[in-house]
Chain A
Amino acid sequence: QSVLTQPPSASGTPGQRVSISCSGSNSNIGVNTVNWYRQVPGTAPKLLIYNTNQRPSGVPDRFSGSKSGTSASLAISGLQSEDEADYYCAAWDDRLNGLLFAGGTKLTVL
Chain B
Amino acid sequence: QVLLVQSGGDVKEPGASVKVSCKTSGYTFTTYSISWVRQAPGQGLEWMGWISTYNGNTNYAQNLQGRVTMTTETSSNTVYMELGSLTSDDTAVYYCARVRTGGVDYWGQGTLVTVSS
The residues of A with any CB-CB pair to B shorter than 8 Å are 32-35, 37, 43-47, 50-52, 56, 88, 90-92, 96-104
Question: What is the number of contacts between chain A and chain B, taking CB atoms within 8 Å?
Answer: 66
Does the CB pair B107–A46 fall under 8 Å?
yes
Indicate if the CB atoms of A91 and B103 lie closer than 8 Å. yes
**Bound complex: CA A97 to CA B50 (Å):** 11
**Separation of A43 and B39 alpha carbons in the complex (Å):** 11
Q: A34-B102, A51-B101, A98-B47 are in contact. List 12 more A-B contacts (CB 8 A).
A: A33-B103, A35-B102, A37-B45, A44-B107, A45-B107, A56-B105, A88-B44, A90-B45, A98-B61, A99-B104, A101-B37, A101-B44
Partner of B105, one of A50, A52, A92, A97: A50
Q: Could you say which of B44, B95, B107 has the most chain A C-beta atoms within 10 Å of its C-beta?
A: B44
Number of interface residues of B (CB under 8 A): 23
- Other-chain contact of B44, A32, A98, A103 (Cβ < 8 Å): A103
Tell which of B46, B101, B110 touches A101, judged by Cβ atoms closer than 8 Å: B46
- Report how far A52 CA is from B107 CA in the complex, Å: 19
Query: Cβ of A35 and Cβ of B103 under 8 Å apart?
Result: yes
Partner of A104 from B45, B50, B62 at Cβ < 8 Å: B45
Which residues of chain B are near A52, meaning CB under 8 Å?
102
Residue among A47, A96, A98, A99 with most chain B CB within 10 A: A99
Q: How far is the CA of A51 from the CA of B102 in the complex (A)?
A: 7
Q: Which residues of B contact A51 (CB under 8 A)?
A: 101-102
